[in-house]
Chain A
Amino acid sequence: MSIAAKANALWEYANPRKFLATSERVMPFFWITSIACIVVGLIWGFFFTPDDYKQGSTVKIIYLHVPAALMAINCWLMMLATSLVWLVRRHHVSALAARAAAPIGIVMTLIALATGAIWGQPMWGTWWAWDPRLTSFLILFLFYLGYVALWEAIEDPDTAADLTSVLCLVGSVFALLSRYAVNFWNQGLHQGASVMRAAAVTGADTEEKVSNIYFYPLLLCMIGFVLLFIALVLYRTGTEIRARRIKALLARERVNG
């Protein structure tokens, strides 16, 4: 199969029926592998890795914190991609996938913020600090809230899909801008912020700072969260498609009856 033909084959999933059939076939695989990865990763991480010499056993919250933070950002990226697909090619499945992903993103952001606070309390002596990373996550959370609220507020599904897609595009630019603005603002506000940042929060820092004993279970958890996210998005997109079908059936019934 040539590349063009393969690309065409990908677009076939824009057909809701095909999407539902395939997603239902592959979903069990995603559910099982994700749960297996997370369970094995967490048990390995919690019980079979030594305590950190400085942080003690609190370091182990990393196995929830980092994967959740990873998915919180990637979920928005996925929504951005599906919004673009909707705006360009008008595939309903794409818009519905973006809608389905947003609440998952909210939950992931909340998990990242909550576990971060629980981790920060014994380590930094505070539940919350206006550190750039923490702050930009809070802003990301606000963007998610606005996005979901806009979906809920508009009755006509196509208008809602259009408006939320544009909001997602504009929001992405501003979220990125806020990320850098916040970085600048904090350095300007208190110089001591570098102490806070030494406690690695992103995956990039972790790879450098976390030794291999912690890294492999963490990697397993991250893979597990990615698979879990895919499974949840497929599941919720299926629900959205069915909800819309029911609405169409009800509308037809009203017309005929």
Chain B
Amino acid sequence: MIALLLRDLKLALRAGGGFGLGLAFFLIVTVLVPFSVGPQSSLLSTIAPGILWLGALLACLLSLDRLLALDWEDGSLDLLATAPLPLESVVTIKALAHWLTTGLPLVLAAPFLGVLLNLPVPGFSWLVISLLIGTPAMSVIGTFGAALTVGLKRGGLLLSLLVLPLYVPTLIFGAEVARRGAMGMETQTPLLMLAGITAATIALLPFASAAVLRINLR
């Protein structure tokens, strides 16, 4: 399991682009927002938590089609499926590797981009906390989507169509935590809901992903 995790991490780091691409995309989206809505700092600070959450979500989405497709193409996914490791764990490890290479950097970068959008000071910690709790769910859900579309030639666009509706609850609660935190309001309820969604998806969705992957590998 650890070997697989290390392999995936190494591939992501060395295969160029995979690691930094999501971050660069996150940065660009954040920079483009003031151009589209205007530079008024009061407006920007109101929409900052939502924009940062949306940017992180899209950056997460961007790297999903590489998640399983590369292993599918070179045949290593077939080997992993026949390995003694259950496919459920393989899928979970894949999601974990995706989170470590995409989700975690996004979480760490978010406060700096928050400065660009004039995020209110109490919002920073809540933004990081909400992203830290929410991004694992995005990786796990994304793995499910990637497993669904792995055998398709033009899976990328379909993947976003399938995965984005599944992101709705995570986005709602996550952005709500960040927004309330930025406004200095109570954040416990959405935070608990967000954590609940993340815990439930991590616990249940790998089984669906593995089932879907088995169908695709048939």
Contact = CB atoms under 8 A, between A and B. Distances in A.
Contact of B162 (A150, A154, A181, A184): A150
Contact of B218 (A145, A146, A153, A159): A159
A134 to B, nearest CB: 14
B165 A149 contact: no
Contacts of B205: 170
Contacts of A154: 151-152
A142 B162 CA distance: 8
Contacts of A167: 148, 162
Nearest to B166: A174
Contacts of A139: 165, 168
Nearest to B162: A146
Nearest to B211: A166
Contacts of B151: 154, 159
B212 A163 contact: yes
Contact of B166 (A162, A163, A171, A185): A171
SS class, residues of chain A in contact with chain B: helix
A163 B149 CA distance: 9
Given A150-B158, A184-B190, A171 B152 contact: no
Nearest to B154: A153
Contacts of A166: 148, 208, 211-212, 215
Pick from A170, A171, A178 the residue with the most CB of B within 10 Å.
A170
Interface residues of B, number: 30
A143 interface: yes
B172 interface: yes
Contact of B197 (A149, A175, A177): A177
Contact of A159 (B161, B173, B197, B216): B216
Interface in A130-189: 139, 142-143, 145-146, 149-150, 153-154, 159, 162-163, 166-167, 169-171, 174-175, 177-178, 181-182, 184-185, 188
Interface string B163-191: 01110110011001000100000000110
A146 B208 contact: no
Interface string B84-126: 0000000000000000000000000000000000000000000
- Give the interface residue-count category, chain A: 20 to 34
Contact of A163 (B173, B189, B216): B216
Interface of A: 139, 142-143, 145-146, 149-150, 153-154, 159, 162-163, 166-167, 169-171, 174-175, 177-178, 181-182, 184-185, 188
16 contacts: A142-B165, A145-B161, A146-B162, A150-B158, A153-B155, A154-B152, A163-B212, A166-B208, A166-B211, A167-B148, A167-B162, A171-B165, A174-B168, A174-B169, A178-B168, A185-B172
A163 B12 CA distance: 28
A163 B172 CA distance: 27
A181 B161 CA distance: 20
Contacts of A146: 158, 161-162, 165
A252 B158 CA distance: 32
Contact of B161 (A149, A163, A174, A178): A149
Interface string B186-218: 000110010001000000010010011001101
A149 B193 contact: no
A142 B215 CA distance: 24
Nearest to B194: A181
B144 A170 contact: yes
Given A146-B162, A150-B158, A163-B148, A181 B168 contact: yes
Contacts of A169: 208
A149 B176 contact: no
A205 to B, nearest CB: 24
Contacts of A177: 168-169, 197
Nearest to B170: A181
The 7 closest A-B pairs by CB, nearest first: A181-B169, A181-B172, A142-B165, A162-B215, A146-B162, A177-B169, A178-B168
A198 to B, nearest CB: 23
